[in-house]
Structure formats: C-alpha cells, structure tokens
Amino acid sequence: DGQPFYATGASLIFSGIIQLVISELPKICVIVFVVIFITLLAGFRNLKDAVILQMVSLVTLLLSTGCMALADIPYNFFNVIVLATVFGMSVDAAVHILVHLKEEGVNPQTMESVAKAVGGAILTTVLGFVTLKLSWHPGLNSLGDVALICLTFNLLVSLVLLPAFLVWQSQKVGKAASR
C-alpha cells in the first residue's frame, strides 16, 4: 500500500541499549578504574597501597575476562553488570586484607582471621549469585556464570596472591632493614 514501515517496540529498544552498553564498556571500565583509584589514593594517602589495591581488581578482572573468553561466554547486558560489581567488590576484599595485615602485622594468625571474614563474605555472595543459575532466563543464567567466575577469581586473588605478595614485600623490607 506504499506506506512506510517502522520497527518499534521494547525488544528493538532493549537491543539498542544492550549494544550501547557493550560498545561503551571499555570507556566505562576506564572511568570506573580511575574513580576507584582516586578514591583509594584519597583514602589511604599512599600511592603504593592504592596501586596494590587496584592491582587486585585488575588481576581479578583480567583472569575473569580471560576465563570468559576461554569458556566462550559472550558479553551481554546482564553479565557486564556483574563485571562492574565484582570490580568494586574485589577492592573491598583487598582493603580489608591490607588494612588488617598492616595494623596487626603480616603473620599467620592475622591472615587466618581476615581470610575467614573475607572468604565468608565472598562465598555468601557467590551463593546469592549462583541461585540465578536456577532461572529459565538465559541472561540471568549468564549473570550467574560470570558472577561465579569473577567471585572465584576474586577469592583466589584476595586470599592467595595478595597475602603472598604482602608477605614477600614484608620479607624484602625486613632484609633491607637488617643490612
């Protein structure tokens, strides 16, 4: 009949929003990274601590996105939200560990105490996100998958790599002081 046809509706709009979020992801990550770093720098007033804390997030994010690539998990609107959330949560876990170890010293008793608290917090968050795997919606399932990957790496980096680095650093400082 010669009339123009316009595609409309929630699905079309939602698809556009998803594409926009995914295409803007690199810029959003850089902005979040900078804002968190400035916040850490202002809070700790120590460049070295801010860098250490930010590296925990960066390593967690790199391991998580690498695992997503290996598992062929595509980015979507739902799991991108988890990446941003875990980025902040990994800083939170690292702050608790760093502060406790600096205040009470790098020793097994302090590490055991803080590991129980941080590990318990991360594991309860994992349980909350894993329930999304019960959903029939593929987006929520993907959110559960990515949360499980990210939080597992957050646990590993926070409770293994960060303490190992802090122990190595304290031993290095101790050796330098004894010379």
In degrees, rounded to 5, the angle at the alpha carbon of residue 162 between the alpha carbons of residues 133 and 150 is 15
With the CA atoms of 116, 37, 153 and 109 taken in that order, what torsion angle do they form, in degrees rounded to the nearest 10? -20
Q: Is the pTM of this model over 0.75?
A: yes
Residue 176: predicted pLDDT: 63
The runs of H, that is alpha helices, within 71-137 are 77-104, 108-130
Q: How many CB atoms lie within 10 A of CB 162?
A: 23
- CA quadruple 28, 26, 35, 102: dihedral, nearest 10: 130
Radius of gyration over every alpha carbon of the chain, rounded to an integer in angstroms: 20
- pLDDT at residue 106, as a whole number: 77
Question: What is the pLDDT, as a whole number, of residue 8?
Answer: 66
Q: What is the mean pLDDT of each run of 10 residues along the chain (179 residues)?
A: 68 71 77 90 93 93 93 82 82 89 81 88 88 83 89 93 87 67
Separation CA 102–CA 75 (nearest Å): 38
Which tokens is 37 given? Answer: 């770093």
pLDDT given for residue 33 in this prediction? 85
